[in-house]
Amino acid sequence: MNNLKGHIVTPKGILDGEIFFDQKIRKIEARKVRTKNIIVPGFVDLHLHGGGGCDLMEGGNAARTISKIHAQYGTTSYLATVPTASEVDLEQALIGLKRSTEQRKSNEAYVLGVHLEGPYINVEKVGAQSKLTREFNLSEIKKLNDIFQLKIITLAPELLSDLALIKVLEKMGIAVQLGHTNANYDQAHQALQAGAKSFTHLYNAMSSLHHRSPGAVGAALAHAQFAELILDFVHVHPGACLSALRAIPKLYFVTDATAASGMEDGDYKLGTQTVSKCQGGVRLADGTLAGSCLTMHQVFKNAIALGLTIEEVSRRCSFFPAQLIRVKDRGRLALQSYADIVVMDEAFNITDVYLEGKKL
């Protein structure tokens, strides 16, 4: 059995002591420690397209490279995120993902399921996605879900023929996030009342907040329990981040990482689009933001720089995202949870990562 000593971030707060684990956490004991190690649960990223030069839409072994790269930066589990594409291309991407996960090795982050970011989105708010948007299609969703479990679907609620479809998805174990939407405040609020759970990259690719026309952003700030935020200070100004933190109880952080994550500046793929990494951002040729080059480790450090406590950052990088998709054995350092662990020094540099108890 493995053990680590340090300042352990548990669901009940920071505990100075020792954690014992094999594949799962077996015991946590309080005691005086001399080390300055900070021990946090592995990061759970619910919006991740790529990394290490690979994009999930490529299929093949792309997912394995992506899982390996992000694990080095503390992401121990994630949702493989696929953008708007043809039905055939989505199916092929998920088939490749399934094969990759069946061959998973101990140095690869665990894929919790799929985040389907489209194609049921508003063409006026596609952002960096393709324009192959289409009407909500439950048969298509069921077919994709049969290949690989869908955990989140991003959609534009104003395009749904019946908001009761949100409950249908919920019964399938799929959380609905509102995003890439031109919904007005009332439409977004009604979708939340109908069972939508969250918002995709809050502020970005959605109707904005104006004091006489609050839009989807206003509905999120007024009513949402959950929303994801890309914390690179490129997608969202720090002041707007603080506003969201004050308003949304379980705001959680994501990377929206692309193939450019972990790579040098240059051109990469995001679905069918070519994107360029330069000066810490990822954009289309016309300057449109196109995901990020973030890692969850950088997100963690950005959140600390924003003034959040270690415990709060950990909740928003691990606990809340796991909670949204009803995962109870990851994203927390608690008995019988998987031993997905990140160890950092007092400057928040990662010193060790454990995936299901095995050290990278």
Helices (H), 112-214: 138-147, 165-171, 185-193
Other Cβ atoms less than 10 A from the Cβ of 299: the count is: 27
Task: Determine the angle formed by the axes of helices 87-102 and 62-71, rounding to 10 degrees.
Answer: 60
Other Cβ atoms less than 10 A from the Cβ of 357: the count is: 18
Query: How many angstroms separate the CA atoms of 155 and 93, rounded?
Result: 19
**Active-site choice (55, 232, 256, 340):** 256
E strands along 85-236, which residues?
110-117, 150-155, 175-178, 198-199, 226-230
Is 265 noted as a catalytic residue in this protein?
Answer: no
Q: Are 147 and 94 in contact (CB under 8 A)?
A: yes
Token reading at 47: 């919006």
Task: Determine the angle formed by the axes of helices 185-193 and 215-223, rounding to 10 degrees.
Answer: 40
Q: Could you give the residue numbers annotated as active site?
A: 256
